[in-house]
Chains A and B, each alone.
Chain A
Amino acid sequence: MKTDEKIIERVLAGDISKFEMLIEKYQTQIFYVAMNISRNKDTAEDIVQDAFIKAFDKLQTLNERAHFFPWLKRITINLALNNYDKNKRIVDVEVEDSEVSFFDRLPDDSDPESIMINDELKRYVRLYVDALPERLRRVIIMREVEDLSYEEISEILNIPLGTVRSRLFNARQVVKDRLIKQGLTDSLVSRTAN
């Protein structure tokens, strides 16, 4: 990440145009971070813009310049979470231990065997993860997709570490069980489903 450090030094020295290099380098990854939380392309694009502008404004406060990307990613996640909470229309009414009821919300889909296995699997994985209650979905996305540590997730979501663990466990269990139930057992071993 030496290049990032050099670019940041130039930007901080007053060469604002160099910031464009950082945008070009990270916009796609940041877009997917925003997209995975907001689930809306237009919203995600707005979040990406806001995240870069915020990063530019706060660039002086970044002590570890080599860690620009993880820092930018956290800014994006926070913005996406705030945005989601602001525009939240679906209220989670389920209690912590009643994840099973989420299956009722799943739409009927076409026969999975008619589609290529890999794409099919991805489609179903997305379907099942997106059908999770938001509090479980956030944790599993942050952990599996964004590679955040339990501690980081706990800090960002402002929940205890134990809650992060239990939510992650429940989310994984639900997705795995659903994939097996759906018959997508080529990749998973069904006898370990329980």
Chain B
Amino acid sequence: MSNKVLSCGDFLKLLNDYVDLNVSEKESLLIGEHLDACDSCKLRVTNAIKVKKMIKSTYGVGASIIDVRSKVMSKIRNRDNVSVRSDKNVDLSSKIMSKITEKRKPFNAVKFSLSMMENYKVLSIAVATLFIITATIVYSQAESKKLMAARSKIESYALEHSSTAPTDYRASTNSIADSIGNGITPVNFSE
């Protein structure tokens, strides 16, 4: 609305908004000025407002002809999920109940370990690897202890029976011990 004076055509475009109180303050001032000068448009406004009122009074709220209270309330009460609030409770209680039921089941070690493995896959793999490494170390340590015991046995045996060759008995025992370590049957010195 850049013009300072409204024409009837301009006003007609604003008539709806005017009767619905949907115009800006500036538009309202321009319309006011136009209506002061134009009787036809003033009557258009009067008619438009009258039609509005007629429609409102025709379709407006009349006497109370229905009562749906009991029907609605019984529908609300009789439904499976009684209400929004109880829906919440149902959810919560079902969760609690499922947890309780789970607790009451007999303990099954295999199932438990499987479920644990399922839940903690990465952790299980790490634990298994650690177990294998530890077992290998323990096994190799036990093997070396056995070897040491055999070596000392042979050493003492060699000492007892090598009075004829005292100078290089150590070398001999070492080679015998090495032979044992390599799976070769030791030579019987007593022969």
What is A's interface to B at a CB cutoff of 8 Å? 12-14, 16-17, 19-20, 23-24, 27-29, 31-32, 36, 41, 44-45, 48-49, 52-53, 56-60, 121-122, 125-126, 129, 140-141, 143-145, 150, 165, 168-169, 172, 175-176, 179, 187-189, 191-192
Query: Is A14's CB under 8 angstroms from B85's CB?
Result: yes
Given the interface contacts A28-B64, A150-B22, A172-B48, does A145 sit within 8 Å of B73 by beta carbon?
A: no
* Contact-size category for B: 35 or more
Query: Is A179's CB under 8 angstroms from B51's CB?
Result: yes
Query: Is B66's CB under 8 angstroms from A122's CB?
Result: no
Residues of B within 8 A of A141 (CB): 55, 59
Task: Sort A-B residue pairs by CB-CB distance and give the 6 closest, nearest first.
Answer: A192-B43, A28-B64, A144-B55, A145-B59, A125-B58, A122-B58
Report the separation of the CA atoms of residues A31 and B96 in the bound assembly, to the nearest whole angstrom.
Answer: 43
Q: Pick the residue among A52, A58, A60, A144 that contacts B59 (CB under 8 A).
A: A144
Query: Is A129's CB under 8 angstroms from B72's CB?
Result: no
How many A-B residue pairs lie within 8 Å, measured between CB atoms? 123
Does B149 sit at the interface, judged by CB under 8 A?
A: no
Report the separation of the CA atoms of residues A19 and B82 in the bound assembly, to the nearest whole angstrom.
Answer: 13
Query: Is B56's CB under 8 angstroms from A145's CB?
Result: yes
Report the separation of the CA atoms of residues A187 and B53 in the bound assembly, to the nearest whole angstrom.
Answer: 11
Residue in chain A with minimal CB distance to B85:
A14
- List CB contacts (< 8 Å) of B44-59 with chain A: 44, 46-48, 50-52, 54-59
- Interface residues as binary, B75-114 with A (CB distance below 8 Å gives 1, 0 otherwise): 1110000111110000000000000000000000000000
Query: Is B66's CB under 8 angstroms from A27's CB?
Result: yes
| Nearest chain B CB to A190 CB, angstrom units | 9
Residues of A within 8 A of B64 (CB): 27-28, 31
Does B40 sit at the interface, judged by CB under 8 A?
A: yes
Query: Is A36's CB under 8 angstroms from B59's CB?
Result: yes
Given the interface contacts A45-B68, A176-B48, A192-B47, does A122 sit within 8 Å of B61 by beta carbon?
A: no
Report the separation of the CA atoms of residues A173 and B42 in the bound assembly, to the nearest whole angstrom.
Answer: 16
Query: Is B52's CB under 8 angstroms from A23's CB?
Result: no
Given the interface contacts A12-B85, A16-B83, does A48 sit within 8 Å of B58 by beta carbon?
A: no
Does B60 sit at the interface, judged by CB under 8 A?
A: yes
Q: Pick the residue among A52, A56, A126, A189 that contacts B68 (CB under 8 A).
A: A52
Does B71 sit at the interface, judged by CB under 8 A?
A: yes
Residues of A within 8 A of B10 (CB): none
| Nearest chain A CB to B73 CB, angstrom units | 5
